[in-house]
Amino acid sequence: MRMRCVDVQSELVAYLDNELSKIAKTVIEEHLESCERCTAEMIALQETVEASKTWQPIQPSSNFMIQLREQIEDASPPDLATELRHLRITLDLLTQQLQQEKHTSEIMDIEQVAAYLRMGVDELWSMLDDLPHFQLGYELRFKKSSIDEWIRAREDRNEPGIGDWYGDRWLQRMSRSSS
Ligand SMILES: [Zn+2]
């Protein structure tokens, strides 16, 4: 049976580890006899395997840490400062972008609305009937412009009216804080 070089080379590690069946081993050896390319590949692999057996864990010399610290201290500080400043600017820009994204995306989920209105998610759930929202599958979504409109409508009312949820809540809060 004539094997393709790719197939032989994919079996070479197993061959070197002596993991192949007798037949497979024979087929590969026959191929190696007539193929320089695969033989070269096999020798290279063998050398790598041999070399890896003699590798020793690296022991840092006793003064390695001292030398390293000296080198760090010697490193020119202006470069490091510039680098840090650049990082700082990048970080600020990213934070800004992230915050903008958080607050300006037109469609928000309940957590984003809660953050937007600076209130807890639980509290928001309790006033869901009053808040413009729509359902996406099982998920609730809010349109930012609708929320803004809803806020504007609230702003127009000078005083919270008794009977609407805000009024109730407001009264609850007042009575809680006074008791
Ligand atoms: Zn070959």
d(CA 61, CA 42): 37
Tens place of pLDDT for every residue, the chain, 179 residues?
A: 578 999 999 999 889 888 899 999 999 999 999 999 999 999 988 888 777 777 666 666 777 777 777 777 776 666 777 777 778 877 877 777 777 665 567 888 888 888 888 888 899 988 888 899 999 888 899 998 899 889 888 887 755 554 555 555 655 666 665 54
E strands, the chain, in order: 107-108, 134-136, 139-143
Ligand 1 centroid – CA 6 distance (Å): 7
Ligand 1 centroid – CA 172 distance (Å): 85
Which residues make up the environment of ion ligand 1, defined by Cβ < 5 Å? Answer: 5, 35, 38
Task: Determine phi and psi for 167, rounding to 5 degrees.
Answer: -60, -45
Ligand 1 centroid – CA 33 distance (Å): 9
Domain coordinates of the chain in residue numbers?
Answer: 5-52, 106-178
Ligand 1 centroid – CA 16 distance (Å): 16
Residue closest to 6 by CA, chosen among 41, 46, 45, 43: 41
d(CA 5, CA 131): 69
Q: What is the pTM of this model?
A: 0.33
Number of H helices, E strands in the chain: 9, 3
- Angle at alpha carbon of residue 27, lines to 22 and 29, rounded to 5°: 90
Q: Which two tokens stand for residue 58?
A: 């690296």
